[in-house]
Each structure stands twice: as C-alpha cells, then as structure tokens.
Amino acid sequence: MTVLYVIIKYFTVIGTYVKAFFEHVCCRLYEVLIEDGRYIPANEMCGHVDHEIIKRRGASFGVCFFPFLFSLIIGMIFLSAGSMNVYYLGEFFTKSGYVNIVNFIFLWLGVSFLTNLFPSVEDAITLKGLLYGENTNLFVKIIASPIFAVLYCGAYLEKWGVTFVTSVAFSFVLPSIYAHILPVIS
Amino acid sequence: MDENKENKVNGAEDEQLKKELEELARVFQEELDKAKEEELSAQSEADGAEESPADAELIQDLEDVQAVSQEEDDEEIPEEELCECCGENRKGTKKNPDSPYCYECEKALRHYPFELINIIVPLIAIVFSLYCCYVFSNNIGIYTAAEEADKYVGENRLYTASSAYDIAIEKMKDEGVNGELVYKRAFDCAYKSGEFLSKDLDEDVFKKWELKLPHLKSVYKTKLEALEMQNTQSAITDIFYKYDTEDVKDLPYDKIIEEIEALIDAPAKEMPVYDGETGEEISTTSPYNIKVQNYNKPMILYYEFYIAVVCEKDIETQISFLEKIRDEYPEMTWIYGSVLGDLYNKANRSVSDLCRQIRAVNADDSSADVIEATSLRIKGDYDKSIEICNKFIDKEDTYAYEFLRQKSICYLLKGELDAAYKAAEEAYEQSAIPLTANLLLICSAATDNTDTYNEVAELFKQSNMDISKEILDYKDGKTSLEQIFTKGDFDVV
C-alpha cells in the first residue's frame, strides 16, 4: 500500500510538495515541533512534515485544515482552467497546430493539488481526539463536524491513494458543474 | 581676668592629653599586630609538627576523589539522557521534562527553517495559479456561450443552439482558441437539425488522424454522411438527365425508380473535387481524406419521392417513400417532416403523431406548427388555426410567410376579405414565391384589387409562368373559395 501511496505522491509531486510546505508553514505558525522537515521522503510521510503529537485543539485543527484549504483553492484554480479547456472546449492544439501543453499542465496540476488535500491519518486521529474529547463543548463539536468529517475521511482515502481517482473523476465532472454556475455568474 | 588665665591652662592640658592617647593607640596597634604574627607563625609550626607527609598526601587524595566525582555528576550525561537532536545537552525542558530535546533544540525545531527550494516551488505554483486565473477569466465568455448552446441542445432547440454555437465559435476565433469539442458539438447539432448540408463549417479545425479517434467519431460520421448525400444527389442527377424529356409524362418512372434503388447496394463512385483556385481535380474526396463507399439511403428514398411527385404519381405512392424514411431514420425529420405533413394534410390524415415527432427531434422546427395550422384550417377550425399562426408571425419565424398564408386562407374562408388580403400581401412581401403570389392573386380578385392583381400577373408573365387555372376560374366566377380550399389539395397550386 505504501508503494502505491508513494507512486501517487511522486506522480502528483507538485501538489505533494506544496501541501507539505503549507503544513510546514502552519506548524511554524502554531509552534509545533517538527521532527523531520523533508517534504517528499519515500515513505508514508511523503507529502507531510513529521511533527510531534499536537496537544492543543486549535493548533491541531489549523495544521489539518489550512493546508487543506490552501491546496483546495489552488487546485480548484488549476483544475477549472485545465478541465474546462481540455474536456469542455477540447483545446488540445494551438491555432498553429502544436499540442497545447499549457492546458494539460493546468489539468495535471489541478489533479495534483486535489490529490494531496488531506492531513495524515495520525493528524486526523489526533484532531478527532481533541475535537471530540471530554473537554470540548457541544457547539464546537457541531460546528466543526462537517469539516472534520471531510478531513477524517479524506485522510483515509488519501492513505489508500483513492484521492487520485476522485480528483481525476472530479476533473471530468467539473464542466457539468460549471454549466450550472456560469450562467448564474454571467 | 582670672577666668581667662584659668581657660588657657585647661586648653594646654587637653592638648597634652590628646597626644598621649594617640601615642597609646599606636603602640597598642603595633603590639596587637606583632602578637597576631607570632600567633600565626606559632600555629603553622604547630600544624607541621603534628601531621606526617604521608598522611597529608593520603588525606589530600581522598578529598580529590570526592571532588572529581562531584564534577563528573555535573558534566558527563548518560547517553540515554542526551538530547536526540544535538546529542550534547541533557534532554527535557522546564515546560516539558519528557521532551527528547534540549531547550535550545526544541526551540529551534518549533521554528523549523525553510530551505530555498521549499519556498521556490510553492512560489512558482502560486504565480502559475495566478496566470491560470487569467486564462480562465479570459475564456469565460467562450464557456458561457458554449454552455448556452449546449443548454439549447438539451432543450431540443436545435436552430437556436446552432446560432449560439456560431457565437461561441466566433468568440473562440477572437481569442485564438481552437476548441475542437465545441466545433464537434456544433457539427452534431447541425447534423440533427439537417443544417450540416448547407452550413459552412470550418474544415481545418481537426487533424486528419483525429477523426478516427472515439471522441470525434460523430464528426467523422457527419462529414461522411454529407459527402454520401452529395454523391447520391450527383448520381441521381446523372440518372435523371439520361431520361431528359420535354414532357414529364414521357419519363419512364419505373425504370428511373429501379435505377435509383440499385444505388442502395452499389459501391459509391468517387465524386471529383476541384481546387478552388486552379480548377484542377484533386484526388482526395475531402480535406480529411474521407472515402465515400456507399450512397445515402435516406437521400435515395427522398429522390424516389421526388420522382414520384415529378411523374405525378398518386399521393399514397409519394407518402410511401417518405414513410420509409420515417420508419428507418425517424430522427431525420428535417428531410421528411414538412413534406410528409403536407401530404398527410392533402390526404386528410391525422398529423398529430408526426407533429409530436418533429417537435421531439427539434423543438425549433416550426414546420410542425405549419402542419398543425393547416390541418386545423382544413378541419374548419379557423380561429384556432389563426391563433397558432399569430404566435409565429409575432416571433418573425423562418416560416412566418407560410403562417401568414394560412391565416389569409382562414380569413378568406371566414369571409373577412380585407384581413385576408392584408395577410396575403404581407406573406408575399416576406417571400415572393409562387405559393404566396397565387394567394395574393386570389385575394386581389376577391377584394377587386385589380392593380395588385395585374402587377403580380405581370410578374408571372415575365417569369414565363402560367397563372393557375383555379385562380383564373375564380376570377371568372367559375369556382368558389370553398371549392379551392376545402376540396382537392385544400390549397391553391
């Protein structure tokens, strides 16, 4: 499983790298102790920075959520242009007849970022313990539940390499979503 | 005086006493220092006499051992207690005694430094994402135009969709975007609506090898079918010209039909293509090297119907050819829909199924409404027929002239002659074809508008066309409007 995980991480290396960078930034902001600052080691920590077990609820949430959010935003930008230009318009070639490599790069980057959205399973479990422990009030538990559910499930999906499949599938579906959104925007 | 003398004596005595006391203090201090020195030297002599040199050395060693042991406790930390990061200091901090790191290392690890590459890669990605935003926002106009066209296709409004695709393609050209899939969808739409034969679609959008790929298969099919139809038309024209006669009655109908039907199984003859500039024959059949192998069956059936019309065969024979197309190619309503509806009306048959079928394929195809309005008029429901016609006349529909014509006939049959004339005049203005001209002649005759009648009759004469016998009979009072429009063909031919 780790081999598949590492292969997918290396195939989507830009998303992997940038996600680890965001995690690193968040760890620094929350003063979380980083034990291994390598972004793409060939093991199950590929795409994550190896840090101490976080004991503060806010820090744990921040380290899980903000890298997810930033990668999601950048991934959506890339995937929107890539998916619409390739799958919807079919701009495979430029007017001069060359392969339109930029559109394919957009698409690959979009898939790459969306494959690497979620925290490591250990971080997700830590977050679960902190969010749904005895000392958390009910309001926080309810408010955080949708985001937590996404992060928690996503962490397991990413561990098994399923997020690559889901992001590729999403890239196909995205033009249909825009078919509903764009007329409203315009 | 005595007092002064006594004071002087007392002052001298004080002075003397002070000096004596100072002298005494100095002597005392000297004696004290001397005594201290003597005591110290005596003490040292006494200490040296009490201990032997060996004893002194032994005592000194034991003390040293104790001192060294204490120093070792301070400086040499067991390996398991060393900081896991630096390996020099004792692990643990005040805040976290269980920490595997020393204070300095823990502080540093909580602010783990970035390498240059750590920053450069995300920075490039972020800058590239900004460029991506620019590209996306630049193309939004194209996306929305294409989405709109797709929406119309989803609603089966094929003519509206076709116009929307034209707008999207125009925008793509402006932005230098070569959106093959938009062209492909425009091709598909044109194929469904039957516009692919007449519409000028770009020939150099796709690469030759691309048309063989699954996602462009429908484009290949459309282009192939267009070429097949052109080849079929050409082949049938050749057959028809073989039997060129002055009178249609001399045409060998059965023989022509037999020859045309033989095309169904015959291999297609390559149609020569000529270069637009040099006029030289080009060996390929199309810019995409599409080889036509068969003739097009719907087109063959349509021409059989056409020959039946030319040879003035009965209405059921004509209908039979079109119904064959309807049964085998129901989606090709553009080829059989309006003519079959017209024949059904002339044969006084129900048109509702056909109209439903035409609308299901292309909701924009108003020929279904023309058929329906004509059917209602034939049934005598003039008001409802006029109601349908008005909707399309207001929308300035492609068939508006035909709706105006039907409206005019309804008014004629209702006896509202002026309204009939006005509608007929409008129809003629929109489309000056024999059909509208005939009706205008009848309306002019009905309203005694001799100027218009003569004007139109003159045009017939200039075009070497004869005015219909029905019109002349009506003008001469030999027939009535009811006889023309409620019997026979239910129309003026």
Tell me the nearest-neighbour CA distance from B356 into chain A, angstroms.
29
- Which of A55-59, A148-152, B274-278, B461-465 is most confident? A148-152
Asked if the model's pLDDT at residue B46 lies above 70, the reply is: no
How does residue B287 score in pLDDT terms, banded at 50, 70 and 90? low
How does residue B54 score in pLDDT terms, banded at 50, 70 and 90? very low
How does residue B97 score in pLDDT terms, banded at 50, 70 and 90? confident
Residue B86's pLDDT is: 85
Q: Say how many domains are in chain A.
A: 1
Q: What is the CATH number of domain B386-493?
A: 1.25.40
Tokens standing for residue A35: 């034990």
Establish if A105 belongs to a structural domain.
yes
Of A18, A49, A87, the CB nearest to B122: A18
Using a CB–CB cut-off of 8 Å, the residues of B that contact A are: 101, 106, 109-114, 118-119, 121-122, 125-126, 128-129, 132-133, 135-136, 139-140, 142-144, 146-148, 150-151, 172, 176-184, 207, 215
Establish if A124 belongs to a structural domain.
yes
Q: What crossing angle do the helices spanning B217-242 and B180-193 adopt, rounded to 10°?
A: 40
The CA–CA distances, whole Å, from B461 to A36, A160, B474 equal: 99, 85, 19
Residue span of the structural domain in which A95 resides: 56-185
The CA–CA distances, whole Å, from B243 to B253, B255, B299, B445 equal: 10, 10, 20, 40
Greater model confidence, B80 or B455: B455
Establish if A65 belongs to a structural domain.
yes
The residue written with tokens 């007092």 in the block is B3
| pLDDT tens-digit map of B358-369 | 999 999 988 999
Of B101, B143, B176, the CB nearest to A88: B143
Greater model confidence, A117 or B280: A117
- Would you mind telling me the total number of residues written for chain A in this entry? 186
Establish if A38 belongs to a structural domain.
no
Domain ranges, ordered by start, for chain B: 116-205, 386-493
Average pLDDT over residues B217-230: 87
* Closest of B424, B392, B393 to residue B408, by C-alpha: B424
The SS3 call for residue B340 is: helix
Residue A15's pLDDT is: 96
Pairing of strands A50-51, A34-36: antiparallel
Tell me the nearest-neighbour CA distance from A146 into chain B, angstroms.
28
CB contact (8 A) between residue B146 and residue A88: yes
Greater model confidence, B2 or B319: B319
Residue B215 CA to residue B61 CA, distance in Å, equals 96
| DSSP letter string, A136-182 | S-HHHHHHHHHHHHHHHHHHHHHHTTHHHHHHHHHHHHHHHHHHHHH
Give me the amino acid identity at A65. F
Helix locations, B155-277, DSSP H: 158-175, 180-193, 217-242, 253-262
Residue B283's pLDDT is: 52
Interface test with B, best of A88, A108, A185 (most B CBs within 10 A): A88
Helix locations, B362-466, DSSP H: 367-379, 382-394, 400-414, 417-430, 434-446, 450-462
pTM (two decimals): 0.76
Asked if the model's pLDDT at residue B39 lies above 80, the reply is: no
Q: How high is the mean pLDDT of chain B?
A: 83
Three state DSSP letters for A50-102 = EECCCCCHHHHHHHHHHHHHHHHHHHHHHHHHHHHHHHHCCCCECCCCCECHH
| pLDDT tens-digit map of B174-216 | 999 999 999 999 989 999 998 887 776 666 788 888 888 988 8
Interface test with A, best of B138, B143, B185, B209 (most A CBs within 10 A): B143
Q: Counting Cβ atoms within 10 Å, is residue B165 exposed (0-12), middle (13-18) or buried (19+)?
A: buried
∠ CA A116-A119-A122, nearest 5°, is 140
Q: What residues are paired with A186 via a beta bridge?
A: none
* Closest of B197, B204, B160 to residue B180, by C-alpha: B204
Asked if the model's pLDDT at residue A167 lies above 70, the reply is: yes
* Closest of B420, B403, B402 to residue B411, by C-alpha: B420
Q: What residues are paired with B90 via a beta bridge?
A: B82
The SS3 call for residue A36 is: strand
Residues of chain A contacting residue B187, judged by C-beta atoms under 8 Å apart = none
How does residue B289 score in pLDDT terms, banded at 50, 70 and 90? low
The SS3 call for residue B409 is: helix
Establish if A49 belongs to a structural domain.
no
Establish if A24 belongs to a structural domain.
no
∠ CA B292-B294-B295, nearest 5°, is 105
Establish if A63 belongs to a structural domain.
yes
The SS3 call for residue B81 is: helix
Asked if the model's pLDDT at residue B68 lies above 80, the reply is: no
Establish if A178 belongs to a structural domain.
yes
The CA–CA distances, whole Å, from B481 to A3, B417, B425, B441 equal: 89, 11, 18, 12
Give me the amino acid identity at A83. S
Taking only residues 80 to 119 of chain A, the set having a beta carbon closer than 8 angstroms to any beta carbon of chain B reads 80-82, 84-85, 87-95, 97, 100, 102, 106, 109
Greater model confidence, B465 or B327: B327
Sign of the torsion formed by the C-alpha atoms of A101, A104, A108 and A109: positive
Greater model confidence, B227 or A85: A85
- Which of A148-157, B2-11, B62-71, B210-219 is most confident? A148-157
For B130, nearest residue in chain A (alpha carbons): A77
How does residue B61 score in pLDDT terms, banded at 50, 70 and 90? very low
Residue B40's pLDDT is: 67
Residue B469 CA to residue B475 CA, distance in Å, equals 10
Residues of chain A contacting residue B144, judged by C-beta atoms under 8 Å apart = 182-183, 186
Asked if the model's pLDDT at residue B442 lies above 70, the reply is: yes
